[in-house]
Chains A and B, each alone.
Chain A
Amino acid sequence: MKGMSLIVKRITRYTVGLILLFGIYIVLHGHITPGGGFAGGVIIALSFIHLMLAFGREEADKSIKENIISFGEPVGGLMFLSIALIGLAGGVFFFNFFASKGEPFSILSAGIIPLCNIAIALKVASGLFGVFVVLSLFRLSGDKKTDEIKK
Chain B
Amino acid sequence: MKFLGEKGVRRVLAGIAFSAISALLLIALFIIKEGLPFIISYGPVKFLLSSDWQPQAGKFGIWPMIVASVWVTLGAMLVGAPLGVACAVYLTEFVPRRVMGVIKPTIELLAGIPSVVYGFIGVMVLAPLIRSQLGGPGLSVLAGAIILGVMILPTIISISIDSIQSVPNSYREGSLALGATHWQTTHMVTVPAAKSGIIAAIILGMGRAIGETMAVIMVAGNAVKIPGSALDSVRTLTANIALEMGYATGQHRQALFATGVVLLIIIMILNSLAGMAIRKRAGKR
A and B: real partners? no
Binding site for B on A (CB under 8 A): none
